[in-house]
Amino acid sequence: VMTRDKNYRVKKGFVFHDLPSLADWAQKKKLERIYVIGGEEIYRLTLPYLSEFLRSQVDYDGPADAWFPEFQS
What whole-number distance in Å separates Cα of residue 21 and Cα of residue 28? 11
Give Cβ neighbours of residue 68 (< 8 Å, ≥ 6 apart): 40, 43
pLDDT digits (tens, 9 = 90+) for 59-73: 999 998 988 888 776
Do residues 19 and 26 touch, judged by C-beta distance below 8 A? no
Mean pLDDT within 20-46: 91
Mean pLDDT within 28-34: 93
What whole-number distance in Å separates Cα of residue 63 and Cα of residue 48? 28
pLDDT for res 51: 87
pLDDT for res 7: 97
Do residues 69 and 48 touch, judged by C-beta distance below 8 A? no
Q: What's the chain's length in residues?
A: 73
What whole-number distance in Å separates Cα of residue 29 and Cα of residue 27? 5
pLDDT for res 17: 95
